[in-house]
């Protein structure tokens, strides 16, 4: 037996089932389930999880080694490397936990051509860090914000330029002007 004739369009495609119209306020509440996208990126396999976890461990260990060179200090007298050392240890521990759970992880996305945005984001951060010590934070900061907003965020040119200049100006006013933080700067 087929569906009743009122449930099909003239082309034979099933029509939407009649029912109550959802309340927009109810849909916007935190308890309402969000619509789930049917199509998504493919999930990563155990090898990709393991490689990503090992990268996290390597970054944590590199941070520990570099911060140790700055001087670890003590709890009573912290030195320049104290907080980076603490963060490096935490990142290393989290990376080891990721390695242990790599085979049981199923919610990570596989690397696709859309993953190039992540590489671009990391690359611009590295370029920013390399340039800040040489020419100050203003020009690299504006360029970093501009690339992130225009290329990664796909914002319009006007929004990207205005927001980039505003972010750097606010950063300058707060950290250089008001707090006198020793940040490398041009002006």
Domain boundaries, the chain: 43-111, 112-186
Question: Measured between alpha carbons, how far is residue 114 from residues 42, 87, 104, 158 in Å?
Answer: 11, 29, 24, 25
What is the residue whose two structure tokens read 């999880």?
49
Average pLDDT over residues 39-50: 80
Question: Measured between alpha carbons, how far is residue 95 from residues 89, 102, 183 in Å?
Answer: 10, 10, 30
| pTM score | 0.54
Q: Is the pLDDT of residue 1 over 60?
A: no
Q: Is the pLDDT of residue 67 over 60?
A: yes
pLDDT, tens digit, 9 for 90 and up, residues 79-106: 888 989 999 999 999 999 999 988 887 7
Query: 1 Cβ partners below 8 Å, 6+ apart?
Result: none
Res 43: pLDDT: 80
User: Do the beta carbons of residue 7 and residue 17 sit within 8 Å?
Assistant: yes
């Amino acid at each position: 037996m087929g569906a009743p004739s009122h449930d099909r369009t003239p082309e034979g495609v099933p029509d939407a089932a009649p029912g109550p119209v959802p309340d927009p306020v109810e849909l916007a509440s935190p308890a309402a389930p969000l619509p789930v996208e049917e199509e998504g990126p493919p999930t990563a396999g155990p090898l990709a999880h393991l490689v990503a976890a090992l990268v996290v461990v390597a970054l944590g260990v590199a941070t520990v080694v570099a911060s140790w060179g700055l001087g670890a200090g003590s709890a009573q007298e912290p030195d320049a490397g104290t907080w980076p050392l603490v963060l490096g240890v935490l990142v290393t521990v989290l990376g080891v936990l990721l390695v242990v759970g790599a085979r049981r992880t199923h919610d990570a996305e596989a690397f696709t051509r859309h993953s190039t945005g992540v590489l671009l984001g990391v690359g611009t951060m590295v370029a920013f860090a390399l340039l800040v010590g040489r020419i100050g934070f203003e020009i690299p900061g504006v360029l970093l914000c501009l690339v992130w907003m225009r290329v990664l965020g796909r914002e319009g040119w006007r929004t990207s330029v205005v927001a980039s200049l505003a972010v750097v100006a606010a950063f300058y006013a707060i950290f250089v002007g008001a707090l006198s933080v020793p940040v490398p700067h041009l002006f």
